[in-house]
Amino acid sequence: MSSTAGQMLLVFIVSLTPMVGVRASIPFGALVLGLPWYIVFPVAVVGDFFPVFFIIVFIKRIFAWLKKWGRFGAWVERTEEKALKKSEKVLKYKRQGLFFFGALPLPGTGSWMGSLVAALLNMSLKEAMPPIFGGVIVCAAILTVISYSGAAAFQWLLG
């Protein structure tokens, strides 16, 4: 495996991470690995969006199973509570709310939480996946501009 392929795999793995996704993988690819944006952007988007289908389809069953285990039950309850608190905007604005929920590069937003909210609200894949994907694209674009502008400014300062 070439060095670039290994670095792309690292970006992909970081983008799979719950609750951070592109919010961590794009700055990581830009500032730590020094990869060009046209490699980091698509790899991070695919990695961030990859688990959406599985979360929407399976998370309620997984949570029901985890609730049977004492240690995980409390964690599941807290996670569901957190998601339902964030679901108010999605309930009010439906698909647009889910889109903006994913598009904002803020803590506690993104494809993982958006998918969890969609699952808990019993949204269909057809209803939930397009706005989540759109949100991932917009968030990734924002973070790409910020990360690569920051990297260029840092290089300029170093001379």
Buried b (16+ CB within 10 A) or exposed e, 20-36: bbbbbbbbbbbeebebe
The torsion region of residue 94 among left (phi > 0), alpha (psi -120 to 50) and beta comes to left
pLDDT at 71: 78
pLDDT at 1: 45
121 burial (CB, 10 Å; 0-12 / 13-18 / 19+) is: middle
* Ranges of residues in the chain whose predicted pLDDT is under 70: 1-2, 151-159
Q: Rounded distance, CA 159 to CA 154, Å?
A: 9
pLDDT at 78: 87
**Which tokens hold the place of 40?**
């980091």
**Which tokens hold the place of 27?**
């700055």
Backbone angles phi and psi of 129, in degrees to 5 = -65, -45
pLDDT at 156: 63
pLDDT at 20: 87
15 burial (CB, 10 Å; 0-12 / 13-18 / 19+) is: buried
- Tokens 């300029």 map to which residue? 156
